[in-house]
Structure formats: structure tokens, C-alpha cells
Chain A
Amino acid sequence: NAGVTQTPKFRILKIGQSMTLQCTQDMNHNYMYWYRQDPGMGLKLIYYSVGAGITDKGEVPNGYNVSRSTTEDFPLRLELAAPSQTSVYFCASSHTRGLGGELFFGEGSRLTVL
């Protein structure tokens, strides 16, 4: 019963470094999402995917990239980390699109860029 698994849970980066946040789900969901949560704010959608090989931008995609080579995995890439990317990142999946489907969330990845 793993659900949605994110790694790492915590990471500190220096400005300009790159890293990948991993996300995998074992529920055979087609739809996957990356959100970021800033202090005192709700979640904002970064990227989403409706199936393997298909991705699209959300509300705040700048500075990020994603890929979806398999149904299970949806990694989020930060190429040149900036302090503005300090946030908690949540991966989520659903069996239908966000409009009607329940989203299952990972436990979050706390990223600090110094």
C-alpha cells in the first residue's frame, strides 16, 4: 500500500545547482501532478501529466521540467536552483482528471535553496 512515494523528503541546494525530485505511484493512475506549497499559501500546480509521454504546464512552470516515460514515474527537474524555489513540493496522482477525481498526495519534499 505505498500509494504515492516522493524522494527525497528534505534537500538543501546551493543557487545554480540542479536536482530531480522523484515521484512514483503504484495505483496505475494515468494522471499525475506536481504542486508547490509556499508558507501561508495554498498549493500551486507546476506541471501535470495525463499519461505516459504526455505532460503539460500548470500555473507556475518556470524553472522546472518534467518527464513521464512510464505510468508509475513522474520526476520533477530543477535545472538552475533559485531561492524562489524554496518550497514544499507535492506529487499527486488520480485515476481521473482533477476536475472530478480524488487526488492522492505524496508526503512532500521540502527543498531549501541557499
Chain B
Amino acid sequence: AQKVTQAQTEISVVEKEDVTLDCVYETRDTTYYLFWYKQPPSGELVFLIRRNSFDEQNEISGRYSWNFQKSTSSFNFTITASQVVDSAVYFCALGFNPGGGADGLTFGKGTHLIIQP
């Protein structure tokens, strides 16, 4: 069965601090995809990144970076020099194996990130 664990329910930091959101996943598939989505207070879900299981290169996009480690089944997300606009709920998600009968993504429960000015 697919499972995504985001152990941090809520994180609160002061603006300009760096913060890392943890994501641990479980899957029996050798081919899979991992995602991060952002849900700001307005409620919509915003795609941040997709990573496939064969590409363990870390990725950096501006203040955002992602660390994918298959050895520990983790896909952590770091925000450098956080800003108030980064305040949101962040979801990590794992792509289903279509052959398993269901489709779509398995989501973690989310981490509520609060950036204080």
C-alpha cells in the first residue's frame, strides 16, 4: 500500500529563517513519482515540484530546494530565507501505480507552515 507521512503537523518560524518540511513515503513500486503542493489560506492547491523515482538529483528553484533520498524514502522540502507569503499548508504526495486499480495521488496530511513577521 502507498503511504505518505508528514510528521510535522505545524511549524512556526520567524521570517528569514530557513525551514525544512519532512516527507517520508512507502511504496512497493520501483517506478513512482513524488510531488509537493502548496495550499495557501485562499484554499487552492498549487503544484510546486514533481520528481520521478529514477532521478535523485536535488533540485533548487529560487528559495525552494528539494532533497530526494531513496535510501531513506524521503523527499524533504527546504525554504531558504522564509517570507510571510510562504505561510501555507504544504502537502507531499506519491503517485499511485495505475495497475493497482486506483489512480491519482496519495497525499500526506500536510504541514501547516507559519512564517511570523
Chain A interface (Cβ within 8 Å of chain B)?
31, 33, 35, 40-45, 48, 50, 56-59, 88, 90, 92, 97-100, 102-108
CB of B68 within 8 Å of the partner chain: no
User: Would you call B60 an interface residue if the criterion is a C-beta within 8 Å of the partner chain's C-beta atoms?
Assistant: no
* Beta-carbon contact of A45 and B44 below 8 Å: no
Name the A residues within 8 Å of B104 (CB-CB): 33, 35, 45, 48, 58, 92, 98, 103
The reply to whether the CB of B64 lies closer than 8 angstroms to some CB of chain A is no
Q: Roughly how many angstroms separate A59 CA and B43 CA in the complex, as a whole number?
A: 22
Question: Which residues from A are CB-within-8-Å of B4?
Answer: 42
Chain B minimum-CB-distance residue to A31: B103
In the docked arrangement, what's the CA distance between A50 and B42, Å? 29
Chain B contact patch, size range:
20 to 34
Q: Which residue of B lies closest to A61 (CB)?
A: B102
Does the CB pair B47–A102 fall under 8 Å? Answer: yes
User: Among A58, A103, A107, which residue has its beta carbon within 8 angstroms of that of B47?
Assistant: A103
**A104, B98: Cβ atoms closer than 8 Å:** no
Pick from B31, B42, B47, B98: contact of A97, CB under 8 Å: B98
Which of B's residues lie within 8 Å of A, judged by CB?
A: 4, 9, 31-33, 35, 37, 42-45, 47, 50, 52, 91, 93, 95-98, 101-110
| B95–A42 touching, CB < 8 Å | no
Q: How far is the CB of A11 from chain B (nearest CB, A)?
A: 15
Contact A57:B102 (CB < 8 A) given known A42-B4, A108-B44: yes
Chain B residue with Cβ nearest A102: B47
- The listed residue (A35, A42, A98) touching B108 by CB distance below 8 A is A42
